[in-house]
Structure 1
Amino acid sequence: MLLSGGTGFTVLIIIFPHVALTAGIPPPTHVNVNCKNLETKVSWGYDELLPQTMFSVEINSSKNHLTAVTPDLQYNLTAFIWRSQWNYLDFYYVTVTALQGVATSEPAQSQTFTFNRMRVADIICKLDFPPVSVTADKSGNTVTFENPLITYRELNDSRNLKKAFFKFTVSSDQRDYVSECDLKKQSCKYDLPSSEGAQACVTLRGWLDYGNGVENVEFHQTDRVCTTGSESETKGAQVLALTLTLTFILLFILTLTPFCVLKGYKKKPIPKPSRTVLDVMPHSGPSYQAVVREDFNPVTVESKQVCSKNLEDQSLHDDDSAAEGGEGSRSGACENPSQTFKYTDGAILENSGDQQQEDGDLTSSEHGSEQEEQEEDQPMERSHYDRRHV
């Protein structure tokens, strides 16, 4: 019995492998489709999300099928839906399956949706109505909006535009007005009757009909739009605003100019010293430092008169009278061999005869040499027999 039971369990795994693989993986939850204007997305939730969890997204319709894998909890369907007319006018639903390795969950399905209001679906997606304006003129109020085929280029990818037309409804406070627009024109217009008065407020909704009775794209109803004034009145208001602005600027300039002139006369600018080439051009030569003048103490200078041999030779040519008095003169010239002067601040002052030493500059040897020179230079006394006889 145990063997049979074990064999039966084994056979069960072989026959139903899918059941065994999906037993521990929960399916996604809350699969929702959100279509906002052209953008269409599907999103879902998952309680046991792991890093290796992936999701298989399948887009199903009567004519097309698409499968994609993503780790996110949403998927953008816009590119697939608006790929061609046959896509956005088709009927769709989405299934999402969780994947973890080789294990898969049960698929979770979304609601059905379509952009074709002639089909039956859970969600009928709509497009936003083009911008609307209401202007007042002498003849009344005019409702104007852009051609939907110009606003949405995706709608031009159609094979049935020859029979297509745009049908819209203008709803005022009094009643609804139904009209159609030629898709070959740049814009669509509708003139409200004069009974609506000078000021009118309306809402619009519309449908793009392909003329075959089975394909129709619906547009959302607009917000309430009221009269804003005619184009001529708008231009006149703009011109008036510009004129007033320029006038104000001109008056401000005329008022401020005399004040600035008077202020300029009161304050005379102080002339600035002219800049030389040396101020502008950088100095590339050697730099010099300022010389500091040093103050020196008074210096004693000794002036010596040397009785040289030249004077001796010269005395031989002198006459007798000069010779008699020359002895005294020579002796007088060699007396006082040194005279002392003082230099202070560029002036020479005579000393009283006292000889002074230079501080730290004259040594004892120098004094000895000076005495020897004085003895050599001093003339020797000669007798009358040594003189030259004439």
Structure 2
Amino acid sequence: MDSAIPTFLILFCFWIHVVGAKLPSPTNVTLDCHNMQNTLQWTYDQLSDGITFTVTVRSINSEPESLSTSATSIDLSKYSDPDRDYAVWVSAVNGSEKSEEVPEDGIEYSYYKDAVSPMICKVDFPFVSVTREDKHLHLSFTHPAVLYSPGHKSKKKKSLDSQMRLPIFHYDIHIINQTESHKHSCSESVCQDKLPVHDSEKIYCLIMSGEMKKISVQATEKYCSKPLKAAGISALAYILPIVLVVVGGLLIVLMVFVKKTKSMPLLPSSLNISKSNGHRPEQKSHESEYSSAHLDPSSPTLLIHTKPGHSRLQ
């Protein structure tokens, strides 16, 4: 009996050691799925050399896939088919030891907008450029399949169009403060549209939503047009009157100058240079202006002043 007690104690201690040495599982497991980018991440308090993690991805009617990583996150973007529902688990591995997979029921997600999965992943509506022209709104945005396709940042849109056939993107446009909505579709890399509006002097804001391959595409903001300037008013309209005033002023000054120049007296004839021979005209002698007294060469006649009634000779 006494010999059995030590054996029991030994077995009990060994069992405690085995249970206590079991590899702990990761904690705080979360999944972020958005814009066809899926990231699973977790925390692990006992990171050490040799610790790796195994991520298991399961989908209906497909074999489970196992992915291994030494980081505490992993990219699952390739698992974004809207025709499938996915469930993921993660476990810690150290040599031959493996922790339990967590979460217990896995994390289920799907991009199918009507799926029964607890997590429905969505796609943001691309940025929409809204411009005004007369009484119409012009819309332009990149097709979501081009914007969110793998490697879209390193490829040109034209090459993407040649490599893949874009799915039809159905979208709705609702103009704020207007009752009607507009339904459109697009299969080009750049989607463009034109909408009539009632009052060209107002600012219009749009709410956009759409669906692509059963994926919900929702706008995260309103897209508004810029205020339309008054009709016919432009930079030229401000500059042209100034130019006309300046030109008119210069013309008036020129006309006054010409008029005053014509009314000025001509130079005296004595200062004018003859155009015919290039010589100055002869000037009349000052003596010609006065009468000259011409004397007869005979003896001078004496002129004696006499009174009336007296003869010249006595």
Q: TM-score w.r.t. structure 2 length?
A: 0.56
Question: Partners of 1:64 and 1:88 in 2: how far apart?
Answer: 17
Check conservation: 2:166, 2:189, Cα contact below 8 A.
no
Question: 2:135 aligned with 1:139, yes or no?
Answer: yes
Where 2:124 maps in the other structure, the secondary structure is: coil
Question: 2:85 aligned with 1:72, yes or no?
Answer: no
> Using CA pairs below 8 Å that are at least 6 residues apart, which structure has the higher relative contact order?
2
Check conservation: 1:181, 1:188, Cα contact below 8 A.
no
Question: Partners of 1:75 and 1:150 in 2: how far apart?
Answer: 24
Identity %: 22
Choose the corresponding residue for 1:95, options 67, 70, 89. Answer: 89
Alpha-carbon offset, residue 101 of structure 1: 2.5
Q: Deviations over 1:312-336 (max 9, x none)?
A: xxxxxxxxxxxxxxxxxxxxxxxxx
Choose the corresponding residue for 2:115, options 115, 119, 126. Answer: 119
Question: Partners of 1:160 and 1:171 in 2: how far apart?
Answer: 27
Alpha-carbon offset, residue 6 of structure 1: 6.1
Alignment of 1:170-319 (within 5 A): 170-175=174-179, 177-184=181-188, 186-194=190-198, 198-209=202-213, 216-228=214-226
**Correspondence for 2:37:** 39
Q: Deviations over 1:340-387 (max 9, x none)?
A: xxxxxxxxxxxxxxxxxxxxxxxxxxxxxxxxxxxxxxxxxxxxxxxx
Q: Deviations over 1:186-231 (max 9, x none)?
A: 413251431686321122121114xxxxxx111131312211368x
In structure 2, relative to structure 1, the CA distance for the partners of 1:197 and 1:65 (3 Å cut) is farther
What is the Cα-based RMSD across aligned positions, in Å? 3.9
Question: Partners of 1:39 and 1:30 in 2: how far apart?
Answer: 20
Gaps of 5+ in 2: 151-159, 240-314
Aligned residues: 216
Check conservation: 2:146, 2:189, Cα contact below 8 A.
no
Alignment of 1:26-65 (within 5 A): 26-62=24-60, 63-65=62-64
More helix as a share of residues: 1
Q: TM-score w.r.t. structure 1 length?
A: 0.46
Check conservation: 1:141, 1:194, Cα contact below 8 A.
no
Counterpart of 2:226, as a letter, is: T
Question: Partners of 2:207 and 2:54 in 1: how far apart?
Answer: 43
Counterpart of 2:64, as a letter, is: H
In structure 2, relative to structure 1, the CA distance for the partners of 1:172 and 1:190 (3 Å cut) is farther
Question: 2:163 aligned with 1:167, yes or no?
Answer: no
Q: Deviations over 1:99-137 (max 9, x none)?
A: 122222111024211111121222211222122022222
Check conservation: 2:171, 2:184, Cα contact below 8 A.
yes
In structure 2, relative to structure 1, the CA distance for the partners of 1:104 and 1:146 (3 Å cut) is closer
Question: Partners of 1:120 and 1:158 in 2: how far apart?
Answer: 30
